Amino acid sequence: MQIVSIAGLLVMIAGLVGLLQRGAILSTSPLGVVAQVAAVGLMIWARMTMGLRSFHATADPTDGGLVTAGPYRFIRHPIYTSICLFCCAAVLAHASLITVVLGVLVMVGAFMRMTSEERLLVQRYPGYRLYASATKRMVPYVF
C-alpha cells in the first residue's frame, strides 16, 4: 500500500504541476473562484482538525486515534476532496483536452491515496469500518 500511496501522490503532483505550468491552476470565473475559496477553507478546516500529526508522503496512519470531528464528520477525505474541488474549478475555467487530462490525473492520484489509506486505517483502527459505513469518501450522501 505504501507504493500505491507514493504513486498516487506523484500522479497528483504531476497533474497539479501541469496545471500550474499551463497557467490553469486558478479559476477565472466567479463561480470557480468561490469553489476554490471553499476548497481552501475545507483544506484549512481539515488540517486544523487533524493537527500536525499527518504530514507524510506515504499513507501512514498515525497515533492519536481516529479523527471523526470537524469535516471528518461528513466525509472521510476532506483534504483530497479540497484538492479535487480546487482542480475541478480550474479545469472548468480553462477547459481543454490537456487540462481535463491533468485534472483526471489529480483525481486518479487522490483515489489511489484514499484507497491505500483506507486499507491501512482498517488495520490500524478497528472502528474505521463502522466510521466508513456512516460517511462518504468525498461528497456527503453521494460518494
Give the domain range for residue 7.
2-52+65-134
pLDDT of 124 > 70? The answer is yes
Residue 65 pLDDT: 83
Q: Is residue 88 part of a domain?
A: yes
- Split at pLDDT 50, 70, 90, the class of 2 is confident
- Report yes or no on 81 lying in a domain: yes
Angstrom CA distances, 49 to 9, 46, 57, 89, stand at 22, 5, 19, 24
pTM of the model: 0.93
Q: How many CA atoms lie within 13 A of 50 on its CB side?
A: 19
- Tens digit of each residue's pLDDT (9 = 90 or more) over 36-74: 999 999 999 999 998 877 666 666 666 678 999 999 999
* Number of folded domains that form the chain: 1
Beta bridge partners of 136: 75
- Looking at residue 18, its amino acid is G
- Would residue 125 count as lying in a domain? yes
